[in-house]
Amino acid sequence: TLTVGTGLTTLGGALDVAGIATFTNNVNQTGTGTFSTGTGNVFLNGATSVTGTNTFTVGTGLSTLNGDLIVNGQSLFNNRTTV
């Protein structure tokens, strides 16, 4: 068990967590590194944004949107599109 009090805690190397990691506040990533997950599900329970000129890419699996879709700007649909 590792207990850290209040205030800034800095880790200079890698951190491996073998069990469940629970965060009760924000998680921030800085720099150009990649944030990745394993093969399990990822739930984004709050509002989610892709900012600036960044791209959100979905692979070849099924994509389900449950709700209204608002598109601001040009849209390109390829392959058997039904509207």
- What tens digit of pLDDT does each residue of 7-49 get? 888 888 888 888 888 888 888 888 888 888 888 888 888 898 9
Is the model's pLDDT at 83 over the cut of 70? no
User: Structure pTM?
Assistant: 0.52
Is the model's pLDDT at 79 over the cut of 80? no
Q: Looking only at Cα atoms, what is the longest distance across the chain?
A: 57
> What is the reported pLDDT for 53?
92
DSSP symbols for 23-76: -SS-----SSPPP---SS-----S-----TT------SS-----S-----S---
